[in-house]
Amino acid sequence: MNEVIDRLKKVRKGAMFIIEAPSGTGKGTVAKEILKNDPNIKFSVSVTTRPPREGEVEGVDYYFVTDEQYDEFLAQDAFYEYVDSQYGARYGTLRSEVDSFINVGQDVLFDMDWAGARQMRKKAGKDVVTIYLLPPSIKELRKRLENRGTDSREVIEKRMGIILDKISHWDEFDYVIVNVSLEETVRKIQKIISGERMKRVRQVGLKGFVQELIKEAKED
Ligand code: 5GP
């Protein structure tokens, strides 16, 4: 019996979980908690031309590249999706971060904006699950951005300026969570992930399994 269950697990199709939120909503912290507790999901490390913030690690948080290197990725068609100049910087998802994992039943978690989510949905359809985190209030969001202390006042004002535009895309997402408490939000996302893993379309091994069941029933 265990053998059958193990085999079914191996032939699962991975899903792409995209988490998006306005800056300061706590998206990064939530993503880290999810990844820490679930070995079956890996983070898609994006490419960016912005400089690292304090504490950010090359190859873990982002691949930090120059504009020239970014252009080279573009020329090689190495991006699954990309978005230029949201905050004066460019971001992109490498194909190499995605395909080889999804096809062996490994889920991938993405931190990307609504424009990226749109491109992914177009390209990968049913494999994509999108989650939007809303802040409990704009006041709280500004406080979090300021307390983070990683961005200059100018950058904070710029980020605040585009928050309204970002929020207007909330209804393009499959799931929407108001991030009041980190623990609650993480629990909710974990439930979404396990539910999505059980969907028939992701359990690509089921067909063979059911055929065997039918065969067994006929022989019974
Ligand atoms: P930050 O500079 O604060 O790390 O990210 C700024 C914005 O860029 C966030 O909304 C983040 O989700 C988005 N972002 C990060 N990586 C990617 C990516 O690879 N593609 C897209 N489309 N957006 C990204």
Query: What's the pLDDT at 126?
Result: 87
What average pLDDT does the structure give for the chain? 90
Identify the CA nearest to 90 among candidates 113, 116, 70.
70
Q: Dmax of the chain from CA atoms?
A: 73
Ligand 1 atom with the smallest distance to the CA of 28 is: 4
Looking up tokens 């994992």 gives 101
SS3 46: strand
- Average pLDDT in the 188-204 region? 94
**Shortest-distance Cα residue to atom 10 of ligand 1:** 113
> Across 56-70, 74-88, 152-166, which has the greatest mean pLDDT?
56-70
Q: Which residue has the higher pLDDT, 207 or 68?
A: 68
Predicted pLDDT of residue 187 = 98
The better pLDDT of the pair 35, 144 is held by 35
> In this structure, which residue's CA is closest to atom 1 in ligand 1?
23
CA separation for the pair 89, 51 (Å, rounded) = 9
Above 80 in pLDDT, residue 10? no
pLDDT of residue 6: 65
* Most ligand 1 atoms within 8 A of CB, residue of 111, 162, 173 to mutate: 111
Q: Which residue has the higher pLDDT, 148 or 63?
A: 63
* Secondary structure class of 167 (helix, strand, coil): helix
pLDDT in tens, 22-67: 877 888 899 999 999 999 999 999 999 999 988 999 999 999 999 9
CA of 208 to the centre of ligand 1 (A): 40
Residue 125 is given by DSSP the state G
Residue nearest to atom 24 of ligand 1 (CA): 112
Ligand 1, residues at Cβ distance < 6 Å: 20, 23, 46, 50, 81, 83, 86-87, 91-93, 111-113, 115-116
Minimal-distance CA residue to ligand 1 atom 11? 112
DSSP string, the chain: -HHHHHHHHHTPPP-EEEEE--TTSSHHHHHHHHHHH-TTEEE-PEEESSPPPTT--BTTTEEE--HHHHHHHHHTT-EEEEE--SSSS-EEEEGGGTHHHHTTT-EEEEE--HHHHHHHHHHHGGGEEEEEEEPS-HHHHHHHHHHH--S-HHHHHHHHHHHHHHHTTGGGSSEEEE-S-HHHHHHHHHHHHHHHHTSGGG-TTHHHHHHHHHHHHHH-
Distance 166 CA to ligand 1 centre (A): 12
Q: Whose CA is nearest to atom 16 of ligand 1?
A: 112
